[in-house]
Structure 1
Amino acid sequence: MKELDSSFDPAAASKFFLSHGHSGWLGLQYRDHGETWVELELPWRADLLGEEDRHVLASGPIVSMLDMASGMSIWVTRQVFAPVATLDLRVDYQRPAKERSSVIGRVECYRTTRSAAFVRGIAHDGDADDPVATMAGVFMTIAMDPRKMGGGNVE
């Protein structure tokens, strides 16, 4: 029997991840990746404004983009898709994005342990040297489906 290739391909996976659920509704788009990082884009849309009188993307969708890029950076670093849970995600805003501008999020997974992954990244609107926000996070990696661990009926 031929063994399946278990390496995680964020470009291929994004076709599913970024077309369903919250990420799909936001319209997140895959841009690029490396061995430990993933880059996504949040396109500007009028219904994602933070303030009615300013044509600037709200902070919530930017945080969602960074959270998704974080998970994908963990999967590309570990070369396998496995569930992760956000334990801590800190986003520090330096400035608002430019009006009517998409925001790009690039997140790197810089350390993994048996049960945790550590990420850092930036969000920018075209100039990575002038970030809209910086971020850092810690994710718990889930090795086994807790519903199948016994000791109780979880439904």
Structure 2
Amino acid sequence: MSADKLTLARQFIEAIPHAQALEMRFESLGDGKAVLSMPWREELVGDPRTGVIHGGAVSALMDTCCGAAVISHPETPAGTATIDLRIDYMRAATPRQRITARAEVYHMTRTVAFLRATAHDEEDGLPVATATGAFTVERPKGGAQ
């Protein structure tokens, strides 16, 4: 991935208001793969009794990570949007631990990218959640693709 494309992808994702609100940060990005993380925060807790982060926050992280992976793909899509995202929650995230999502494009057609993703906390072992998704592939206007 070119430095210009990487910068553009980072700026695009970092401009998303919910990504800012959830304090998402890039860990790595390129070649149809992305790793994003977000911190545990008390205002994101879904169960005050246990301190477990809300599944919606995990879902938003995984969705954004998948979109970043699409944007970073070598076929250089101009943009993307979620068509379908299935998330399976495997276990509660450990309270007070950072959540990291990893997404990878495993197949791309002219108009649709297919992805797999996982989310982990800082514990070893099972993922917090896994996902499969389909995302639009928006081609540059007037481009050869």
Per mean C-alpha deviation after superposition, the further-off stretch among 72-81 and 48-57 is: 72-81
Shift of 1:69: 0.7
Cα distance in 2 for residues equivalent to 1:92 and 1:46: 23
Structure 1's 45 and 110: CA in aligned 2 closer, same or farther, altered over 3 A? same
Which residue matches 1:111?
107
Rate the CA distance shift 1:15–1:114 in 2: closer, same or farther, 3 A: closer
Task: Note the residue ranges of structure 2 that are not aligned, 5 or more in a row.
Answer: none
How many residues of Structure 1 are paired with residues of Structure 2 in the alignment? 140
- Residues 9 and 72, structure 2, Cα contact 8 Å, conserved in 1: no
Aligned to 2:97: 101
Q: How far has the Cα of 1:18 moved from its partner? A: 2.5
Return the alpha-carbon distance in structure 2 between the equivalents of residues 21 and 133 of structure 1.
Answer: 23
Give 2:138's aligned amino acid.
Answer: I
Answer with 50-59 or 84-93: which moved more.
50-59
Distance 1:143 1:8 in 2: 14
Residue of 115, 119, 123 corresponding to 2:119:
123
Q: Which residue of 1 aligns with 2:137?
A: 141
Equivalent in the alignment of 1:88:
84
Q: 1:8 is matched with which residue?
A: 5
- State how far apart, in whole Å, the 2-side matches of 1:16 and 1:143 are: 15
The sequence identity of aligned pairs, in percent, is 31
Specify which of 21, 28, 37 is matched with residue 24 of structure 2: 28
Pick aligned residue for 2:40 from 44, 51, 70: 44
Which 4+ stretches in 1 moved above 2 angstroms?
Answer: 5-8, 12-20, 33-36, 78-81, 126-129, 142-145
TM-score normalised according to structure 2 size: 0.84
Alpha-carbon RMSD:
2.3
Q: CA deviation at 1:14?
A: 2.8
C-alpha distance 73-45 of structure 1, shift in aligned 2 (>3 A): same
Q: Which has the larger radius of gyration?
A: 1
